[in-house]
Copies of this chain bind each other. A is one copy, B any other.
């Protein structure tokens, strides 16, 4: 429990902006994106609510920035680990392992909120779309590299990436939103199996 390094009463604009986003993330983790308010964020920081609007034009921007931090961090972690892989197949294994974090349901709930709020909050829609595209790009790139060295077979890397990602999202959605008969284990098993079939890999290779 390391205390934040002796917060000065007055922070540099860059630091403050970062602090606001961090506080927003913390609140959104507990309450979801859709019901995170300016006052929640201010209270979390221990400052006034007016301060938030000194750095952000609207709440839409604040939420979008917070969502971007969370989503981009997960993306960065996956991308970094996949980058160290010595083969496309190994990278894919890492992808499935990091994309389905058992203890971070709240992050996926943020995605659910972002997809729904996209219709009402332009900034949230823009970042949600951007991040989704980047995830697809990461996956597509990995597939392409595997096709290049013939370690896997795929006539349509871009489409395959969308299909794998969407199946994963659709299944995870059921777990997080409903807690249905679909289990976390099903999500992993079914999506990896689908990817193996999609990429001409033998069954179980991505397990």
Contact = CB atoms under 8 A, between A and B. Distances in A.
Contacts of A117: 34, 116
Nearest to A112: B116
A39 interface: no
A159 B115 CA distance: 25
A5 B182 CA distance: 46
Nearest to A166: B170
Contacts of A129: 177-180
Contacts of A109: 116, 119
Interface in A119-164: 119-120, 125, 128-129, 132-133, 159, 162-163
A190 B186 CA distance: 21
A107 interface: no
Given A32-B120, A190-B162, A180 B115 contact: no
Interface in A188-207: 190, 194, 197
Given A112-B115, A159-B186, A159-B190, A173 B170 contact: yes
A34 B112 CA distance: 13
A167 to B, nearest CB: 5
A173 to B, nearest CB: 6
A118 B174 contact: no
10 contacts: A34-B116, A112-B116, A115-B116, A118-B177, A118-B178, A129-B178, A163-B194, A166-B171, A169-B170, A194-B194
Given A34-B117, A112-B115, 14 more contacts: A35-B120, A109-B119, A115-B177, A128-B177, A129-B180, A132-B174, A132-B180, A133-B180, A162-B171, A166-B169, A166-B174, A167-B167, A169-B169, A197-B197
